Amino acid sequence: MSRLYEEKHFVPVAQSTDINGGMTGDSILMKNYDHATFLVYFGADLSGDAVLTISSGATDAAETTAMTFAYRYGSAATGSATSDTLSDETTSAALTCTGTTYVSRLLICEVDANAMTDGHDWLTLSLSSAASAGYCYVIAILNKNYKGSAAETALS
């Protein structure tokens, strides 16, 4: 039987972060991974219009180049019958997360490592300080370049 953790690496990027003042998650070293999926869950208190970016850089915490990423989000708030039904996929390099659209919803962002700028091994997800209130949690799921239960850290 295959276990998900044998194929993927799970990285807590940000926890219970008040995005009112902006938020920068932990940078992820992608050298052992070929794809990153960011799960961003916004709380019920989200208001305002924070802008989400995923940037690549040559070093930890360097946000040098904004990546274009694919994304989908839940069609209803958590607790609703269709909260697990996703919107159509679209792309962005600077996604405005309006409180009225993303409150209590899951946002899924996808980034392929081969789309990163040459010499850039690090990915960083950030939210601007444009939101007036709100909390969010971010977990990255990484595709391993190899299979096995042990994985090197993707954090510095």
Report yes or no on 127 lying in a domain.
Answer: yes
Question: From residue 121, how far is each of 25, 30, 73, 154 by CA, in Å?
Answer: 16, 5, 27, 10
pLDDT of residue 147: 67
In a domain, 156, yes or no: no
Could you tell me if residue 92 is inside a domain? yes
Tell me, yes or no, whether 87 lies in a domain.
yes
Residue 78: inside a domain, yes or no? yes
Dist. CA 154–CA 28, nearest whole Å: 5
Domain count, the chain: 1
pTM of the predicted protein model: 0.94
Mean pLDDT, consecutive 10-residue segments, the chain of 156 residues? 86 87 95 96 91 98 98 96 96 95 96 97 95 91 76 74
Distances (CA, A) of 55 to 18, 21, 41, 81: 20, 19, 19, 34
Beta strands per DSSP E along 44-129: 47-57, 65-66, 69-73, 90-92, 95-98, 106-112, 122-127
Residue 112 lies in a domain: yes
Read off the tokens for 138.
């971010």
pLDDT of residue 148: 61
Cα separation of 139 and 141, whole Å?
7
Any idea what the CATH number is for the domain that residue 76 is in? 2.60.120
User: What is the per-residue pLDDT for 24?
Assistant: 95
Range of the domain at 78: 10-144
Specify the pLDDT at position 154: 79
Cβ neighbour number for residue 74 with a 10 Å cutoff = 21
